Amino acid sequence: MASLFPPDDILLAALLAGNEADALARAAELEAGGEELGALIYGTTKRALARWIRRNAATDNWAGASIPLNAIAPGVVDTPMTSDMIKTPQQREAMATMVPMPLNGIFEPRSVAYLLAWLAGEENAHLCGQVIFIDGGSDVVIRGDATW
In three-state secondary structure terms, 88 is coil
- Count other C-beta atoms under 10 Å from residue 136's C-beta: 23
Catalytic residue check, 114? no
From the candidates 9, 19, 37, 42, give the one annotated as an active-site residue.
42
Contact 135, 73 (CB under 8 A): yes
How many angstroms separate the CA atoms of 142 and 2, rounded? 11
Contact 73, 50 (CB under 8 A): yes
How many angstroms separate the CA atoms of 124 and 103, rounded? 25
DSSP class of residue 39? T
State the catalytic residues.
Answer: 42
